[in-house]
C-alpha cells in the first residue's frame, strides 16, 4: 500500500504522496500477527458424524516437521510525524513492539499426545531446540529519505534508539527422553541455557531460581515500576538500551519498472536491569523404578503417594541442582532482521503490479516468503490492493487492503491473509454446511494492520490546458519572415511596419478587439487593404497565418528519474 506513510516501515526509501503526515496517537498504526509453521487448527480438530469436534492427533503430527515455530507479533505507533522538504522526506516515530517465538519439536507433541510407550518406545524423543524468545521494547526513530532525480535513485535510512522492557531468550536447548523397550527405564539428557530481564523470580530451591525480579523485595519492585505511583520507572528508567537501523533503496529502471530493496531491524539491545542467567550443564539421569516396593504397596506408618513423591524428588532434585548454575549478568540480544526485495511494474498511473521476496532470521534459521500483489489507485481518495503469497510453509494466503481518504483523514486496513478471519467460524468450517467456509486445514497465518492518519498537501489534480510558454507550440508567424509585419510600442500607441516597408499611422488600435476602432481608422484601413494584413481577421490567407511546421500539443511526461512509488497522472 504505497499510498500510506506506513509504507516506510518496510521500505525506508519510499516517500508518501502527501507533504505532511501526522499519525493519530496509538491508532495510527495497529498491527498484530500469528504464524504457525507446524500445523493449522483444522489439522488438530475435526467434526465427527455426530457433530462433535474431536482431536485428530495423528493428522496434526503428520503435518509437522522435526522443528516448528509459533510466532506472535504486535506493534502500535504512539507517535508519528513526517514531512517533505524539497527532494527529502523526514519522519519521527515512537513505536511499542512485542515479539514472541516458540520453537517446538515434533516429538514434543507426540510425547504429549501419545505418551512414551507408543511410537516413541525404544527411541529417543528429541526435544532439542525447545525454547522460546520474548521481547517487549520501545522504539524511538528518526527517518530520512533523499530522492535523486538525476540518477533515477532514492535511498533512505531510519536510525533507532531502543528501550528494552522485558526479555526472555533461550540460548541452548538440548533435551532428550528415551524409554527402554525391555525394562521401560527412562534415560534423560538435558542441557539448558536461558536468560531473562524483568521477569519475576521463581524459586527452585533455597538458593536457586529462574528470573531476576524479586517480587518480595518492596524496594526493588518500586524501582522496577510495579509499586503504586512508580509506573514512570517502568516506562522510562530501565537501563536496557540498544540501537538499530533500517535502510533501503529504490531504483527506477525505466518509466515502468521500479526495483526496491530494504534491510530492517539490524540492531541489538543490552539488558542490564533485573537480569538472570540460568544454566543447566550436561545433565544425564536414569530412572529404572522403585528399589524397595514394599512401602509403596502399603504401610501403616506412611502413605504410598507421599512416599513415591519423596523418592522421585530426592532422586532427581539432588542430581539436577548439582548441575544447575544461577547468576545475574548483563547480556545482549539481536533484533529479528528482515530483508525485502521487490520489483514493481507500472501499468498506468492507476494500476501497479509487484513481485516481492521476503526473508527473516528466526532462532538461527532463515524464514522465506514470496508474494505477488496488485494495487489500484483512484486519484488520491481511494486505493485498494490484492495479493497472493507463500510463506511459513503455507500456500493459502490471500491478502486484501483498502485506503479511503476523507479530506485530510486517511483510514486504511489490510491483511496478508483474509482467509484467517474465516477460521473464527470453526464450527461451520468443520462441517460441510453451505455458506462461506474456509479450508482450515491449510490456513496457518493471520494478521491485520489498520490505522488512521492525517495527511496534508497531496498533489492537486493536474491541469490539461497548455501553458502559454510551451516551446512545442508552433509560432503564429516566424520571426524572420520577410512578409511579416512588425510592431513597436510607444507611449502614444502602436506603430505597425507593413511587409511593403510602409509605416502605419500610430494609434491605440487593438487587433484583438471586436469593433472599438473609430470610423476614421476603419476608413484608413480600407484604403490600405491591399497593402496590409490583419493577422486577427478570420479571412486572412492561410500562408500568412502560420509559418513553419505545426506541432501537436504535447503533454509533459514524468521524468524517468522519478523514484517515487506513486506515478503522476501525467505519466
Domain contains 542: no
Residues 384-423 have pLDDT tens digits of 999 999 987 788 899 999 999 999 999 999 999 998 887 6
Confidence of residue 314 (pLDDT cuts 50, 70, 90): low
Could you give the dihedral angle defined by the CA atoms of residues 542, 548, 552 and 554, in that order, rounded to the nearest 10 degrees? -150
Sign of CA dihedral 484, 490, 494, 495: negative
Over 57-92, what HEC string results? Answer: HHHHHHHCCCEEEEEEEEEEEEEEEEEEECCEEEEE
CB-CB contact of 369 with 340 (8 Å):
no
Question: What average pLDDT score do residues 262-274 get?
Answer: 97
Average pLDDT of the chain to the nearest whole number: 79
Question: What average pLDDT score do residues 84-110 get?
Answer: 94
Return the pLDDT at 9.
92
Question: What average pLDDT score do residues 271-297 get?
Answer: 79
Through-space distance between the first and last CA atoms of the chain, rounded to whole angstroms: 20
What domain range is 289 assigned to?
Answer: 5-345+405-422+444-456
E strands, 149-256, where?
A: 153-179, 186-197, 202-203, 209-210, 241-252
For cell 527532494, name the residue: 87
pTM of the shown model? 0.75
Choose between 210 and 472: higher pLDDT.
Answer: 210
Choose between 527 and 55: higher pLDDT.
Answer: 55
pLDDT at 139 over 90: yes
Return the pLDDT at 515.
45
Return the pLDDT at 569.
42
Question: What average pLDDT score do residues 189-193 get?
Answer: 92
Looking at residue 474, what DSSP letter applies?
A: P
Return the pLDDT at 542.
46
Domain contains 389: no
pLDDT at 179 over 60: yes
61 contact partners, CB below 8 Å, separation of at least 6: 106, 109, 110, 113
pLDDT at 491 over 80: no
pLDDT at 304 over 80: no
Residues 433-482 have pLDDT tens digits of 445 555 666 788 899 999 999 999 987 765 555 555 555 544 544 444 44
Where is 2: in which H helix or E strand? Answer: none
pLDDT at 511 over 50: no
pLDDT at 513 over 50: no
Return the pLDDT at 502.
52
Question: What average pLDDT score do residues 153-171 get?
Answer: 96
Choose between 205 and 93: higher pLDDT.
Answer: 93
Domain contains 382: no
Domain contains 489: no
Domain contains 187: yes
pLDDT at 543 over 50: no
Question: What average pLDDT score do residues 292-315 get?
Answer: 56
Domain count, the chain: 1
Q: Please give the Cα distance from 519 to 510 (Å, whole number).
A: 14
In the chain, DSSP finds a helix count (H) and a strand count (E) of: 11, 26
C-alpha cell at position 485: 509585419
Domain contains 277: yes
Choose between 49 and 89: higher pLDDT.
Answer: 89
Residues 326-376 have pLDDT tens digits of 999 999 999 999 999 999 999 988 899 999 999 998 877 788 999 999 999
Confidence of residue 115 (pLDDT cuts 50, 70, 90): confident
Domain contains 150: yes
Confidence of residue 550 (pLDDT cuts 50, 70, 90): low
CA neighbours within 13 Å on the CB side: how many for 390? 5
Question: What average pLDDT score do residues 45-71 get?
Answer: 81
CB-CB contact of 275 with 194 (8 Å):
no
Return the pLDDT at 211.
92
C-alpha cell at position 435: 455458506
Question: What average pLDDT score do residues 98-116 get?
Answer: 89
Question: What average pLDDT score do residues 486-496 get?
Answer: 46
Instruction: Go through the chain and tell me how many residues it has.
Output: 571
Lowest-confidence segment of 42-46, 220-224, 296-300 by average pLDDT: 296-300
- 309 φ, ψ (degrees, to nearest 5): -60, -45
Question: What average pLDDT score do residues 134-161 get?
Answer: 96
Domain contains 569: no
Q: Please give the Cα distance from 226 to 461 (Å, whole number).
A: 54
CA proximity to 260, closest of 10, 5, 467, 535? 10
Lowest-confidence segment of 293-302, 373-382, 388-397 by average pLDDT: 293-302
Return the pLDDT at 82.
97
Question: What average pLDDT score do residues 6-18 get?
Answer: 92
Amino acid at each position: 500500500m504505497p499510498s500510506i506513510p506506513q509504507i516506510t516501515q518496510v521500505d525506508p526509501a519510499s516517500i508518501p504522496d502527501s507533504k505532511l503526515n501526522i499519525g493519530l496517537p496509538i491508532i495510527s498504526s495497529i498491527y498484530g500477527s500469528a504464524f504457525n509453521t507446524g500445523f493449522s487448527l483444522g489439522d488438530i480438530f475435526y467434526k465427527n458424524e455426530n457433530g462433535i469436534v474431536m482431536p485428530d492427533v495423528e493428522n496434526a503430527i503428520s503435518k509437522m516437521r522435526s522443528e516448528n515455530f509459533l510466532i506472535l507479533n504486535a506493534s502500535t505507533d504512539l507517535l508519528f510525524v513526517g514531512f517533505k522538504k524539497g527532494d527529502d522526506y523526514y519522519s519521527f516515530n515512537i513505536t511499542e513492539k512485542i515479539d514472541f517465538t516458540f520453537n517446538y519439536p515434533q516429538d514434543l507433541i507426540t510425547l504429549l499426545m501419545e505418551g512414551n510407550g507408543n511410537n516413541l518406545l525404544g527411541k529417543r524423543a528429541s526435544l532439542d531446540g525447545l525454547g522460546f524468545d520474548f521481547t517487549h521494547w520501545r522504539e524511538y526513530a528518526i527517518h530520512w529519505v533523499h530522492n535523486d532525480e538525476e540518477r533515477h535513485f532514492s535511498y533512505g535510512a531510519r536510525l533507532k534508539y531502543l528501550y528494552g522492557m522485558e526479555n526472555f531468550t533461550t540460548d541452548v536447548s538440548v533435551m532428550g527422553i528415551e524409554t527402554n523397550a525391555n525394562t521401560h527405564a527412562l534415560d534423560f539428557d538435558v542441557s539448558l541455557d536461558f536468560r531473562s530481564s524483568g521477569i519475576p523470580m521463581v524459586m527452585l530451591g533455597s538458593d536457586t531460581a529462574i528470573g531476576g525480579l524479586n517480587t518480595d523485595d518492596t524496594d526493588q519492585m518500586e524501582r522496577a515500576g510495579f509499586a503504586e505511583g512508580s509506573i514512570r520507572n517502568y516506562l522510562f528508567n530501565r537501563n536496557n538500551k540498544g540501537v538499530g537501523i533500517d535502510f533501503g533503496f529504490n531504483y527506477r529502471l525505466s518509466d515502468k519498472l521500479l526495483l526496491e530493496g530494504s534491510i530492517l531491524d539490524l540492531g541489538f539491545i543490552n539488558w542490564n536491569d533485573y537480569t538472570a542467567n540460568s544454566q543447566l550443564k550436561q545433565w544425564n539421569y536414569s530412572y529404572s523404578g522403585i528399589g524397595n516396593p514394599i512401602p509403596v504397596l502399603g504401610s501403616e506408618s506412611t502413605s504410598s503417594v507421599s512416599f513415591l513423591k519423596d523418592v522421585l524428588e530426592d532422586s532427581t532434585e539432588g542430581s539436577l541442582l548439582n548441575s544447575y548454575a544461577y547468576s545475574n549478568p548483563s547480556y545482549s540480544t539481536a533484533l529479528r532482521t528482515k530483508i525485502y526485495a521487490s520489483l514493481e511494474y507500472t501499468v498506468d498511473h492507476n494500476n501497479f503490479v509487484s513481485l516481492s521476496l521476503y526473508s527473516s532470521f528466526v532462532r538461527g534459521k532463515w524464514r522465506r516468503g514470496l508474494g505477488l500483489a496488485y494495487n489500484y489507485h483512484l486519484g488520491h481518495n481511494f486505493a485498494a490492493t490484492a495479493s497472493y503469497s507463500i510463506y511459513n510453509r503455507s500456500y493459502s494466503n490471500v491478502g486484501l487492503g483498502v485506503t479511503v481518504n476523507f479530506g485530510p483523514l486517511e483510514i486504511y486496513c489490510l491483511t496478508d491473509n483474509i482467509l484467517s478471519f474465516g477460521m473464527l467460524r470453526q464450527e461451520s468450517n468443520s462441517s460441510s454446511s453451505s455458506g462461506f467456509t474456509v479450508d482450515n486445514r491449510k490456513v496457518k497465518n493471520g494478521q491485520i494492520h489498520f490505522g488512521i492518519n492525517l495527511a496534508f498537501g497531496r498533489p492537486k489534480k493536474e491541469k490539461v490546458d497548455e501553458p502559454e510558454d510551451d516551446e512545442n507550440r508552433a509560432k503564429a508567424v516566424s520571426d524572420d519572415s520577410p512578409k511579416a509585419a512588425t510592431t513597436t510600442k510607444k507611449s502614444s500607441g502602436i506603430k505597425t511596419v507593413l511587409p511593403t516597408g510602409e509605416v502605419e499611422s500610430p494609434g491605440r488600435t487593438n487587433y484583438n478587439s471586436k469593433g472599438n476602432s473609430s470610423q476614421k481608422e476603419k476608413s484608413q484601413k480600407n484604403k490600405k487593404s491591399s497593402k496590409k494584413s490583419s493577422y486577427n481577421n478570420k479571412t486572412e490567407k492561410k500562408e500568412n497565418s502560420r509559418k513553419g511546421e505545426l506541432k501537436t500539443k504535447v503533454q509533459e511526461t514524468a521524468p524517468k528519474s522519478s523514484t517515487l512509488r506513486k506515478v503522476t497522472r501525467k505519466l
